[in-house]
Amino acid sequence: MSAQSGVVLLPPYDGAWFNCTDDIANLAYQRFTIKLVDNSTPVTTGFGTNLQGNSSYIRIHGTGFSLSSSVDSKKIPDTYTEIYNSPLTIYTYYCGTYKSVTTQCDSPFLGFPSQKQDDQQWCLHISNPFNNSQKAQVSFLNDKTDKTSTNVTNIDKSFV
């Protein structure tokens, strides 16, 4: 990931947007900023990947997103032994979004694999738990700060 920015679609019903890299060494001094934008804002084509949602634990109209990164193998196993011996996916949640949603998040990248693990990839995931589409401005920036800010909203799970 290099310094880049774009508007992304967050499809409803746990739809998601993600962007991955295997260039782990270059992530050490980068950060991201993500904030919701008006749904009339045009989406940036070719920026990350969208996944359509098909279910959601929240079936209400809402505002906010969950945010995590993952580290997993970029190799596709050929045998059962390779599947069994492959490392588990490790998730890191940002800005309190493990049990809540947020409308904005600014943070350095976290949860990197060792640079010696050259078969690993790091991915940033933004998911939309609500039944309405949303859009977000995502920016990757070169920076050496370690501040994290957020605007967290608790999810009322009584509608489950």
- Where is average pLDDT lowest: 93-97, 105-109, 112-116? 112-116
pLDDT for 19 beyond 60: yes
**How confident is the model at residue 115, as a pLDDT?**
58
Please state the rounded mean pLDDT for residues 4-21: 92
| pLDDT for residue 97 | 75
Which range is least confidently modeled, 46-50, 105-109, 114-118, 137-141?
114-118
Residue range 50-92, pLDDT digits in tens:
999 887 666 788 899 999 888 876 665 555 555 556 566 778 8
Helix (H, G, I), strand (E, B) or coil at 153: strand
> Cα(35)–Cα(37) distance, rounded to whole angstroms?
6
Q: What is the pTM of this model?
A: 0.76
d(CA 9, CA 39): 9
Q: Which residues contact 76 (CB under 8 A, 6 or more apart)?
A: none
Ramachandran quadrant class, 67 (left: phi over 0; alpha: psi -120 to 50; beta: rest): beta
Q: Mind listing the pLDDT tens digit for each residue in 120-131?
A: 788 889 999 999
pLDDT at res. 48 = 92
Whole-number average pLDDT of the chain: 77
Q: Which residue has the higher pLDDT, 155 or 34?
A: 34
What are the structural domains of the chain? 4-148 (2.60.120)
